[in-house]
Chain A
Amino acid sequence: MAITDARPSTAPPPDPLPRRTRRWRYRLSVALHEPTLLIGIVLTVILLYLVIAPLVAVLSDAARVQFGDQPKTGQQAGELTSYYLWRVFRSQVSSIVFWHPLLNTLIVAVGVTALALLLGGLSAFLLTRTDIAGRKWLSTALVVPYMLPSWTFALAWLALFKNERSGGQVGILEARGISTPNWLAYGAVPIIICLGMHYFPFVLLLFGNALRRLDSQLEDSARILGARRSTVLGRITLPLMLPSLSSSTLLVFGRILGTFGTPYILGLPVDFNLLSTSLFASVRNHEPGITAVIATVIVVIGVAVVVADARLLREQRRFVTVGGKGAMNRIIELGRWRWVAGGVALSIFVFSVAVPVLTLALSTVTTTPGVFSADNFTLKYWLAKSLPDAPGFPHGLLRGTELLDAAWNSLRIVGLAALICGLVGLLIGYVVVRSDGSRVATTLRQVSFLPYLVPGIAFAAAFLSLFAVRRGPVPALYGSITLLVIVLAVTHLPYASRSGISAMTQLGREPEEAAQITGAGWLTRVRTVVIPIQRGSLVTGIVLPFISGIKELSIVIMLTTTGTQLLTTLSINLIDFAYDQMANAVVLVIALVAFLATYLTQRLTRTSLASGLGG
């Protein structure tokens, strides 16, 4: 591009164009030299399509007669109808399809949130404000439950408590002659305990960070004015912690809405349905209209939770006191009690990590659970050439191609999605920072955050209704790898773009402008300045979605077909066949992959897991 026009400035030619047109022409010539705006617009359009179109498709499915439902509704396919609303909310089946699942979801959500707050709050306090024994080790160990696939606990629970009611092997207790009642083996109680175990690290991280940042000078000031320790705790510390408490409460609550594996495994044998499993059932029964209505309800509740969280945070911002430089952390000395506290925290670790993982590991190498004699140990579930009693999976897990295929699918699909996520996240960060304050930047920031509002399982249902058929130039993507990659990338984008934006904000625009002023064009700048500086955050932005995606179940369960089996869906399929040992083995493999990836990232980039709360 040559330097445009070089007329002498002294005599500007008379210009016939109106002022507005002139401005647009100038802006266009600016935009031609700076691709930021263009990238921003393209990204915004694509994201809007991928986020808004599925939701629109779901709404339209909920209000239109689906193909095949003409006799039931007495209307033509495609006509507007309130049939599905009626069926979900007011018909004879609505208590099974909707009202009981809704009630169950609320019970489970409240229970899990309470348990997570108790465990997470207690361990956060012990780890940040006391000299608890083994503090450093515990602060890593207690986050491990969050790295396990959420339904690991459910499988372990079955391996321990399963009774005769559902098929396959009974649990260790039953095998030893101790009968377990249904309420202990299945339903609300075990679901709450298992999910509580999984989600408490979430509270621990959020709440712990807030506690760490609390300036203890604020507490000291109260003590100097004569307040007792208990008064300080009740009047100063707790109120200051309220934002992070309410925030983690709502976020855990929101997660429960979209969680699938645990209620599926532990609820199904006693017909204990949550909204997520009810949604899945209607997908399996090929009832797109009902699926759409339930998905819409889940989306509405999910949005309400996030909006409530945002509103609470805004209201409480007036007393959010981030300590900043002067923050000091006063450690409470527990004396002899530090060992007791250490014991308590250690037992949380034992019950949330050691027991489940060991139970699962043991179950995969024993024929009859709970019997630890030499002839009962076997490696056949891993290695046998043929397993006569398992017609659906007639050989050990490591034989045949099923596990390898699923692992390869998981790696390439999740890997590709994570790669896209990381790159797009950084690109969004780039656009937002470079064109800060412009309408494109604001829109893009908001659009990339939208998937956060929608629980994953509802999002998957929405994608299903959008891509089940060909729409305009977009082919029917159902059953394809592309669809899985897109769904995984879009649902993980909020975290990736948030970290991209914060990384680019921290860097600012000056380093790139400094390159620009010395004569470097756009590509040179991105290649030699932006990417090298952001290498670390780019790696994190790819690996964290990868870790979370590799153990993702609720989003992919509806979208995988036999050709696109993933590790997580393979495990659930094996459970459907009641091949518990092999299902457990697959979950162990997933946990191992997730754990290794986390460990490697932490070693390579020295980032803490706390920054990657993208479960």
Chain B
Amino acid sequence: MPTIALQSVSKSYGVGPLAVDDLDLTIPDGSFTCLLGPSGCGKTTTLRMIAGLEHPTEGSITVGDRVLDSVAQGTFVPTERRGMGLVFQNYALWPHLTVRRNVEFGLRVQKVPAAERKARVDAALEMMQIDRAADRYPSQLSGGQQQRVSLARMLAVNPSVLLLDEPLSNLDATLRLEMRAELKRLHEETGHTIVFVTHDQLEAMTMATQVAVMKDGVLQQLAPPMDVYHRPANTFVAAFVGSPPMNLAACDSSLGELAQRYLALTQTSALDAVATIGVRPEAVRLVEPGHLGSEKEWVFEARVRAVLPTGAAWTVSVTVGSTDLYLVTTDEVGATSGDVLRCAVKRKALHLFDAEGNRLDLGTDRELERNEAVQWIS
């Protein structure tokens, strides 16, 4: 199962902006790649182009050395010859066929002999644990069961690549959790290359080996999930990944000014380029009133607007001057609205972005880390 490569792929629907804009994307063999982004960002279009259901306006799509689409060469391989599997958001089971016939369909098309067909269908049904519903019609199944049938239907033909288009978005919360585990297990057991489209960053974080964040048809960042989380490439990715999202403060806001004053103390170079400062809610710690800041820790005071217990943690909405800020803590918060809290943020937990919103990796970051390491050893 070779690598899928999209080169300079653009897709235009004639009117409006490009649905996909000059996309370069490599999906390594055996990877679980998530296309992540808000609705209308071009992620589904990208997936459908890989499947051959949409056709790029520019660029090429290849699997290994086999060219599937190439506008330059005039090459096009129709969907039915690509040997891929696709699971649709609404499952797209055929209502006039039983579960068994649904799963069997692709094998019949490929004229697989009856005995082998039965064995492969049984295996697929068993793997998705729906063998008991084999003789029912799709309308008699629950949403979760339909989902499993549609996965089984895809697996039965043993495709080289599995494409999944928001397959979990129609399921309830419990089922979604279960199916996430199921998909991850499937990936680990079969070693298939999986391309998964979702707008749910939690799904991307939990399952993917690499995440491609998209916005308005443009790829924002392609990286392993933890990198996307800890080192977002720009303010869009920073705000999109994480719940509640990263707090972003412009430098001329009340919080931004405080932060800049602190950063000046740390002798961070090229501070002038910083336009936005970001901090994840869970990186903000609540500290004792007398707690003092340091070079490695920024301390400020904030006024409580509302305390929102979520069971496992507390989300606190606070204001610093005129800036709103969220913080998340697992320690019980006794404060009520109007109280003043003292907050602390580690220097290395601050994300800096320039005027275009792109991440700034200042040299001092690494210095700071090294210093810290030295301190830790000594």
Contacts and interface: CB of A to CB of B under 8 A. Distances in A.
Nearest to A512: B92
Interface string A405-437: 000000000000000000000000000000001
Interface string B100-124: 0000011001100000000000000
B76 A29 contact: yes
Interface in A21-46: 22-23, 25-30, 33-34
B75 interface: yes
A342 B269 CA distance: 89
B109 A33 contact: no
Interface stretch (B66-74, B224-232, B244-252): B66-74
Interface stretch (A8-16, A110-118, A141-149): A8-16
Given A8-B65, A9-B5, A517 B51 contact: yes
B300 to A, nearest CB: 48
A519 B110 contact: yes
A515 B110 CA distance: 12
Say what secondary structure dominates the interface of chain A. Answer: helix
B65 A532 contact: no
A234 interface: no
A532 B92 contact: no
Q: Which of A6, A438, A519 counts the most B-chain CB atoms under 10 A from its CB? A: A519
A474 interface: no
Contacts, number: 124
Contact of B92 (A7, A26, A511): A511
B71 A23 contact: yes
Contacts of A33: 76, 78
Contacts of A521: 80
A520 B109 contact: yes
A479 B373 CA distance: 99
Interface in A489-521: 508, 510-511, 513-521
B96 A5 contact: no
Interface residues of B, number: 47
Interface in B37-72: 51, 53, 55, 57-58, 60, 62, 65-67, 69-72
B81 A3 contact: yes
A439 B76 CA distance: 22
Contact of B86 (A22, A517, A524, A533): A517
A26 B95 CA distance: 35
Contacts of A562: none
Interface residues of A, number: 40
Contact of B76 (A4, A8, A513, A517): A4
B107 to A, nearest CB: 8
A483 to B, nearest CB: 38
A513 B53 contact: yes
A26 B67 contact: no
Contacts of A511: 92-95
Contacts of B67: 5-7, 9
Given A7-B67, A9-B67, A533-B94, A517 B85 contact: yes
A173 interface: no
B153 interface: yes
Given A4-B76, A8-B65, A33-B78, A532 B88 contact: no
B83 interface: yes
Contacts of A12: 60, 70, 72-73
Nearest to B57: A23
Given A5-B73, A12-B73, A30-B55, A529 B94 contact: yes
Given A28-B74, A514-B153, A516-B78, 9 more contacts: A3-B81, A12-B72, A13-B73, A23-B57, A26-B71, A508-B92, A510-B90, A517-B79, A519-B81
8 contacts: A23-B57, A33-B76, A514-B88, A514-B150, A516-B78, A517-B79, A518-B153, A524-B109
Interface of A: 3-9, 12-13, 15, 22-23, 25-30, 33-34, 437-439, 508, 510-511, 513-521, 524, 528-529, 532-533
Q: When A and B form their complex, which 10 residue pairs have the shortest distance between CB atoms, in order from nearest?
A: A518-B106, A510-B92, A9-B62, A25-B74, A33-B78, A514-B92, A29-B76, A26-B71, A517-B86, A516-B79
